[in-house]
Amino acid sequence: MVYYTDSPRMSKRMVSGYYLFLCLIGFAVLLGPTGAGIPITIVGTDGREHELALPTYGTDPSDCQTCHADEYGNWSLSEHATHMKKVNSTHVQIGAYLNISQAYFNSSCAQCHTSGWDNSTGTPTYDSLGVNCFACHNSTGYVDYSGEVCSNCHRPSGEEHPHQYVPWQNSAHANSLTDLRASAYAQSFCMHCMSTEGFIHQDNPDPSGDYNPVSCPACHSVHGNWTDVGPGMIRAVNATQLCALCHVGSHHDTYNIWYGGPHHLAGVECIDCHGYDLAIPGDNTTYFLNHTFVVKPDLACGQAEECHQGMEEWAVNQLESIQNTFDALVEEFEATYNDFEAELLAYNATDGADHELVAEVYANITEAADAVDLQVNDRSHGFHDPLNMYADVTAAYTKLLDTIAYFHANVPAETVTVTETVTVTPTTPLPAGYDTLTLAGGAVGGIFIGLILGLLVGRRR
């Protein structure tokens, strides 16, 4: 400890100077990197923000290879790098389907299919064919998770162009954070799937922060290492596996419910229905994925011969019948559950109630309700796997009714206040032990099973 003294060796001025010196050292350490003009912020697996080492990056993407060899290697195999080819001095080729004159290309296509495009003088010029580092990074080293840089090209300027960005703007992905923040869910535990930053870095940032919804970079890694630069440069080996990174869990276990269902067994992937192809008008060879991911059955079911082409009406009727049956079962289950829950809670509030029995019974009916909720939260209304859905909901309803019977067998009737009586009448003989209970009438079950068998037999021509 330093003491103030009148000794010539340690004056108050010397002590003050000593502390000032320490403070200056602290500020120097704290401000040194930024004061030197080298701010360093680690973004994550997809890149790092940094200042330009030189006034400009140049125009040759190989300049980036020195520091970003992996990213450059992946990009060089992608369609951004390979979709353009100069055929000769007068023509260029876009992809595998369009061979056009250099003059038409310069006036109508170059803005999106080149890098370094410039129209400031009224005469468009560009540095190179294809979409390279400079086309997306726009002369900066910053990573943009908003997807807006993609909109520069992936936005329709005519019916012949891919409609990717605008449909995405109308999708649930684009509204993921809006929906999350308006919900009652534990937002802080959802951001790893509901925001782009959280998904890429697999963390749960503060939901109140300035983050992006599920945007283009969340699913597509233009030069990342999550993919072998496959179709669409997605962050998984295929689109279904990409969807499975988020669409799992007790609140939305879509992937596991779909897995093993009739469409999965038939080789139908998620995007075959949810991202059904949009064809360029008059062109039967070029298709673009529908980025709203909203299923339109009359279009999705007949989009190809291996689907239900020519049988669209039958397929849509099957879909509607399965979903209507599911909705009716769930509605009946929920009505029965709600009535009995009210009865159970009323009994629990009476003098002398058997609270241990109530706890046991409540745990059983909650387990049954959770099983039904899992199917409800899948949001396909039973269609992703109709047979297992029917079996699971049947088992849950049976458990609920068994628990109700067990409760009534152990509680005298006069101690229970019943606000509404739910009568369930079997339409076919039931197995032993269920003579007083039923799930859904045998007629409904028979119709449902017939629909499922029809789906399994007729799902492919």
Name which residue leads in pLDDT, 158 or 65.
Answer: 65
Please provide the distance, in angstroms rounded to a whole number, between the alpha carbons at the two ends of the chain: 90
The verdict on 183 and 106 lying in the same domain is no
Helix (H) or strand (E) holding 101: strand 98-101
Q: Are residues 399 and 285 in the same domain?
A: no
- Structure confidence by residue, pLDDT tens digits, 30-71: 333 332 333 322 233 444 344 444 445 566 888 888 888 888
Q: Which of 300, 335, 370 represents a domain boundary (last residue)?
A: 300
Q: Is residue 44 part of a domain?
A: no
Local confidence band at 158 (pLDDT 50, 70, 90 cut-offs)? low
Q: Evaluate whether residue 109 is within a structural domain.
A: yes
In a domain, 87, yes or no: yes
b/e per residue, 397-433, with b = 16+ CB within 10 A?
bbbbbbbbeebeeebeeeeeeeeeeeeeeeeeeeeee
**pLDDT tens digits, one per residue of 316-371:** 999 999 999 999 999 999 999 999 999 999 999 999 999 999 999 999 999 999 99
In a domain, 454, yes or no: yes
Q: Helix axis angle, 355-378 relative to 386-410, nearest 10°?
A: 170
Residue 146 tokens, joined = 């908003």
Would you give the DSSP letter of residue 280? P
- DSSP tag of 362: H
Largest CA distance in the chain: 108
Whether 119 is covered by a domain: the verdict is yes
Do 449 and 324 share a structural domain? yes
Where do the H-state alpha helices sit in 157-228? 165-169, 176-181, 191-194, 196-201, 216-219
Q: What is the rounded CA–CA span in Å between residue 378 and residue 248? A: 9
DSSP codes of every residue in 79-99: HHHHSEEE-SSSEEEETTTEE
pLDDT at 138: 65
Residue 45 within a domain? no
Residues 6 or more apart in contact with residue 318 via CB below 8 angstroms: 451, 454, 455, 458
- pLDDT (tens digit, 9 = 90+) per residue, 286-330? 667 889 999 989 888 988 888 898 999 999 999 999 999 999 999
**Given 128, 155, 182, which residue is the final one in a domain?**
155
On whether both 263 and 343 belong to a single domain, the answer is: no
Q: Is 395 exposed, middle or buried (0-12, 13-18, 19+ CB in 10 A)?
A: middle
Please check whether residues 108 and 224 belong to one and the same domain: no
Shared domain check, 435 and 372: yes
Are residues 66 and 7 both part of a single domain? no
Q: 284 is in which domain, residue-wise?
A: 169-300
Cβ-contact 313, 302 below 8 angstroms? no
Could you please report the per-residue DSSP string of 18-40?
Answer: HHHHHHHHHHHHHHHHHHTT---
Q: Are residues 120 and 230 in the same domain?
A: no
Q: How far apart are CA 133 and CA 61, in angstroms?
A: 6
For residues 177 and 151, membership in a common domain is answered with: no
pLDDT of residue 302: 86
- Residue 176 and residue 234 in one domain: yes
Predicted model pTM: 0.74
Residues 322, 386 contacting (CB under 8 angstroms): yes
Residue 51 counted as domain residue: no
Q: How many CA atoms lie within 13 A of 100 on its CB side?
A: 15
Which has more pLDDT, 166 or 431?
Answer: 166
Domain boundary among 272, 300, 328: 300
Q: Find out whether 300 and 272 touch, Cβ atoms under 8 Å.
A: yes
* 364/421 same-domain check: yes
- CA dist 130 and 185 (Å) reads 44
Write down the residue that tokens 């891919």 correspond to: 162
Asked if residue 49 is part of any domain, the answer here is: no
Shared domain check, 114 and 28: no
Q: Which helix (H) or strand (E) holds 353?
A: none
pLDDT score recorded for residue 400 = 98
How high is the pLDDT of residue 356? 96
The structural domain count of the chain equals 4
State which of 135-149, 226-240, 243-257, 388-402 shows the largest mean pLDDT: 388-402
Nearest to 302 by CA among 310, 294, 293: 310
Question: What pLDDT sits at residue 405?
Answer: 97
